[in-house]
Structures are given as structure tokens and as C-alpha cells.
Amino acid sequence: MKFDALSLQKFLMGECEPLETLVWLSDIFVPEIVSRLNTNDVRQRLGIYAGEKIPENERNLTDVRNRVSLILEYELARIATCILEDNGIQNLFWCYVVANRFPDLEVRTTSGERGLRVEVKCLQSIAEEKSANFDTLKKDIHPKTDFVVVFLWEWKYDSQEIKWNRSPFVHKAFVFHASTLAYLRDWYWLNKPPQDLGDGLQGFDLRYAVNCKNGIYNQEEGNYGKLLRIWKKDFEYQPPKSTLLYHTVTDYLSFKKIVITEGFKNLAYLLLPKITGSNEIYPIHYNDNNDQYFIGWQSKNVCFILNSFFSMFSKKRKNDILVHIFTNGANKIYTFNDRYDSTEYDLDGSQMKKIKKHEKPKYLIQGLVEN
């Protein structure tokens, strides 16, 4: 994509209004970054080559995810600087913020003047606990220049013509105005304290979030700011509305849905062939009058259903869906929650007989191997 050099400088130096910059980042700049991240030239740098194996234990698997996240962050800065060079801009560059917890990257002029600042978060789509946190306090965020970029990635297996076995592929990128996202996070967190506060309060000190249990204060243990827990649709206590806040809420709810459904899709394409021995996988849809609803994925006689979609239907419609699935040849169902814990059922018409629970996808995979 060819950018306009004057617009690039104007946006990247934080000279536009935050909403205008947010739309530009979301619709123009970051999609170009993703397009370049997914080229073979970049993906070969992150590839798993013949003979290399990703560890399966949780601790080392987390290390691998953190490594991928860090490299994607560095590649963002490298590619973004290349875009500047491609457009003849020599006085700006993207740099790494070494001294601070927030942000990860920032734009600087060759004379040291600061422009946009970006915090980068990466989520592997099939991870059962997408645990990236945005816990920077609002006082440390600049409302005009600071943004959060979230990459949703997954391992992609490539054809035999490619010299690596698999490499991260960025399925989607999301951009949030950091100050508004923090405001939304804090509004929800402060208005939904735990039940066992005692005579204490939930709040913040100058460094981090503080919670309270039975009147005893301590630093919040890590749930504050988890990206998939920042806000819930139709929350009882609504903050004062603004255009930027409305935009953030809309984008955030869309982000949550896409992250969960994309991860579920990748999980289905990973696990269903192991269960059925077939690579033929297709979506399950339920037609109700003029509306069509996505329910899950099917391969041969086995279906994967996402509870958050299935649970929104009435009992009668659920029975209709199960009969529809059974009629299409399925007699085995795995239901998944949003963390991808699953429950296995045998299906007979609209009747589901519970067989077994699998707390995490890896335990389901282990069960398949053992059987």
C-alpha cells in the first residue's frame, strides 16, 4: 500500500484527534502491518523447521507464546519503520521503550521528539486462557497519543514447497484507544468488586490495582486488566457516553467475539481430524425464519458446539438444533465453553447423554491419543 507521506507524519506524531487516529490505525495502517507480517519473508523468521518441536508442558509452552509475542512486537516496529522509509520519511522511526512498563513501542523524530506510543498484546487463538493483561494505570497513559494493538495469531501449517513446517500467522489485529480502554476496564472493575471485601474497598494506589479480602489489602494478583475480562455486554452500571467510548465498547465486544470464535474454528480444524480421521470439516448453521445462526463445526459424525452460541436459544430451539444435527449424520457432540473446556456427549435425536469432561484442549488430545 502506498501511503501519503504528509498524512503518515501527521498521524504518527499525534497531531490528529484520538478518534481520527484510531480509525486510521484500525482501517489503514495496522492492516498493512498485518499484510506484511503474513508474508513468507517475515514468517520464515518465526518458522518451526524440521526436527524442531514445541514443548507440550504448560510452563514451556507459555515461554514459546511469550517469545512469539515479543518477536511480533519487534517485527511491527521494523515493518512500520520500513513503511516510513518506503514513503521517503527519514526524520521518523519506531523505537523500543526499554525503560518503562508501558508502552512497548513509540514513534520518535531524529531529534528525539515523541509521537504515538503503542502497547502490543498477542493472543494465540486456541490458548484456553488468553492471559494477556492491560493493567497500566490511567494516570500513566497519554489520552492523545497512546494506543493498544492486539494481534490474534495461530500456528499455520504450510505446504511441502515451503521449507519450514509451520509458522505464526496473524489472523486479525485490533486497535484500541488506550485511555478509553483503561477507563472502561476501571469502571467495570470498580463496579464489580468481590463479595468478600469485608470493611475494605477495591481501588488503586500510585503503582497498581489493589484488592481487598475480608478487610485485608494486597496487590491485585493478575486478573485485573485481562483482555477478555475488561467489559461485558449490557453491564448494569453504564459509564457516561461519548463518541470515543461508544466506539471502544463496540470494538471491544466485537474483539471478544472474534477472538473466541476464531480460536474455536482453529481448535476444530486441529482436533476434529484427530477424532474422525477426516479433513472434511464444515460449519453448522441453524436457520430460523430469515435468520441464520452459526452453531459450531462438524466432521463426519462428530460436532463441536460453542456453549456461548448454543445457550442463547430457548429449550425448544435447542432441541430443534440437536435434531437437525442428528439428521445430518452426527451422533457425537463436544460442547466447549469460552476457555475451550469441553464435555463429550452421545447424541440420539434431541437427547444428549453425557460421557466425559475434558478441562483443557490438551487433555482432550491426550484422551484421543490414549484411545
- Calculate mean pLDDT across residues 249-257: 96
Query: Does 187 or 202 have the greater pLDDT score?
Result: 187
| pTM for the structure as a whole | 0.90
CA distance 94 to 225: 26
pLDDT at 201: 78
Asked if residues 74 and 96 have their Cβ atoms less than 8 Å apart, the reply is yes
In the chain, what are the domains? 5-178 (3.40.600), 269-370 (no CATH)
The pLDDT value given to residue 208: 78
Band of residue 365 on the pLDDT scale cut at 50, 70, 90: low
Separation CA 239–CA 257 (nearest Å): 22
pLDDT at 332: 96
* Rounded-to-integer distance, Cα 345 and Cα 355, Å: 5
Q: What is the pLDDT of residues 307-331, one digit of tens each?
A: 988 988 889 999 999 999 999 999 9
H/E stretch holding 20 reads helix 18-24
Count of beta carbons in the 10 Å neighbourhood of residue 133: 14
What is the pLDDT at residue 369? 47
